[in-house]
Amino acid sequence: MKVFPQLNFPACKFKVRSSASDDIYVWDIIRNKWLLLTPEEWVRQHVIYWLINELHIPKTSIVCEYPVNINGLSQRADIVVFENSTPSIVVECKAPEIKVDRSVFDQIGRYNSVIEAPCVIITNGLNTIYYGYKGGIYRQIRSIR
């Protein structure tokens, strides 16, 4: 069985199952389906539970794999949180072994050029960086609480 690292998010009890080929699947409470539990999905699921249980964001306000059209190319933001039908937070999740660096910031910046959420989060589950966005300018902030 695969072992995933402990992350800097609260521990979660996920609904999981394994397949005959020893793949592990996790039940995604937002998309209401079983997903292959990859390292990136491990991080995404922790972020979802953190948003719901720690920040008290309703499940109905969270969208995973939100479609974003950039220069005619269809891409997807990992998580977008809506408040009164307006995007308020966009999150880019990476696997724990992926560095949270300028390339990740650039990626979410492209998504947010379309989404225009006032809060941007990039995380690999071990390192999480928050940005406020206003008037086309990003400023690193301490948290979103």
Tell me the per-residue pLDDT of 12-68, one tens digit each, with 9 for 90 and over: 889 999 888 889 999 999 999 999 999 999 999 999 999 999 999 999 999 999 999
Question: In this structure, what CATH number is given to the domain that contains residue 123?
Answer: 3.90.1570.30
Tens of pLDDT, residue by residue over 127-140, are 999 999 999 999 99
| Per-residue pLDDT, 1 | 54
Structure tokens at 17: 């199952």
Q: Which two tokens stand for residue 80?
A: 């977008």
Whether the Cβ atoms of residue 64 and residue 48 lie closer than 8 Å to each other: yes
What pTM does this model have? Answer: 0.94
- Domain residues for the domain of 45 are 40-141
Number of structural domains the chain divides into? 1
- pLDDT tens sequence across 89-120: 999 999 999 999 999 999 999 999 999 999 99
Query: Within a domain: residue 88?
Result: yes
Separation CA 81–CA 5 (nearest Å): 26
CA atoms 119, 120, 124, 128: torsion sign: negative
